[in-house]
Amino acid sequence: MKNKTQKALKVKRSRGEQIFSVFNYIFMVGIIILCIYPVWYVAMASFSDSNLLTMHTGPLLWPEGFNLNAYTKVFKNPMILKGYMNTMFLLLVGVPINIMMTALGAYFLSRKRVLFQKPIMIAIMFTMFFSGGMIPFYLNLKDLHLTNTLWGLIIPFMINTYNMVIMKTSFQSIPDSLIEAAQIDGASHWKILFSVVLPLSKAIIAVMVLYYGVSTWNSWFWASAILRERQLYPLQVILREILLSNDVSSMSSGAAATDAESIAMSIKYATIMVATVPILCVYPFLQKYFTKGTMVGAVKE
């Protein structure tokens, strides 16, 4: 329907519109380059010879003296491996808990004729717009003995209210008749959630896995705030030490001072690649799910 209209429009395009169209395409190509080039630069720099890289000025199109030294160094670094392990733990344990808890809340909010649903809904929505702030949140974690443990990054972040609203909207689109039929058969809510609602919600579960997964992978602030032991640091916190505190000495020990600095650059870039490529490889394939989630969330009630 829409395509037809567009075709009809194409025929009638005026000269001004044609010029606009050309500029529009050029503009989009420009945007594409802007979005991709920084990542490309980092990739090329990570494959470069560190000395040549230091001498190089200006944009980089291909590696300067291709080699993989930086990567060998990065993969030999025990802290990066440890960081990977910790992040994997947070993903494998945390995300299923996220999905579970979010589904429980979303299911409750999606039911009809529940007396105390509205007050609970209001109380939950309120937290999206008002909070006690960073410091009381931190003191609360301390109070609950959730500091200096990876559980402190899982339990307090079990539910993201925004995600729960998305899931609720999606659950509401499941026909009531299905749920009522199960209820007549004597199924409990627990059973209905697991054997009727969730099997029908694979797409939204995929969206949730991705949303929670990406935010777990990328989050760092609370990890750096509550973890004292370096052994517990997730990948992003290690990354912060390497990228933003110039702490590359541990990796390039033995080399002369100037050498160390030049090694530093390519190691930095290789570290970025190691921490970013997994997500960059995955997202284009899952894009339709991400997009779907945002759109479900945008549906106004």
Q: Is 258 in the site for other proteins (CB under 8 A)?
A: no
Q: Interface with other proteins by CB under 8 A: which range of 61-69, 77-85, 212-220, 249-257? A: 212-220
Q: Could you say which DSSP state residue 59 is in? A: -
Closer to other proteins by Cβ: residue 171 or 254: 171
Q: Is 239 in the site for other proteins (CB under 8 A)?
A: yes
Q: Is 184 in the site for other proteins (CB under 8 A)?
A: no
Site for other proteins in 32-51 (CB under 8 A): 32, 34-36, 38-39, 41-42
Pair 182, 192: CB distance under 8 Å? yes
Closer to other proteins by Cβ: residue 92 or 144: 144
Out of 92, 139, 178, 181, point to the residue binding other proteins (CB under 8 A).
Answer: 139
Q: Is 181 left (phi over 0), alpha (psi -120 to 50) or beta?
A: alpha
Q: Could you say which DSSP state residue 63 is in? A: -
Q: Is 5 in the site for other proteins (CB under 8 A)?
A: yes
| Alpha-carbon gap, residue 88 to 236, rounded angstroms | 12
Q: Is 151 in the site for other proteins (CB under 8 A)?
A: no
Site for other proteins in 88-117 (CB under 8 A): 101, 104-105, 107-108, 111, 113-116
Q: Is 136 in the site for other proteins (CB under 8 A)?
A: yes
Helix residue ranges, H only, the chain: 2-11, 15-46, 50-55, 69-76, 78-89, 95-110, 117-129, 134-143, 161-172, 176-184, 189-192, 202-218, 221-226, 235-244, 257-298
Closer to other proteins by Cβ: residue 4 or 202: 4
Out of 119, 186, 199, 254, point to the residue binding other proteins (CB under 8 A).
Answer: 119
Minimum distance of other proteins from residue 76's CB (angstroms): 20
| Among 235, 265, 231, CA closest to 248 | 265
Q: Is 268 in the site for other proteins (CB under 8 A)?
A: yes
Torsion 88-93-98-100 (CA) sign = positive
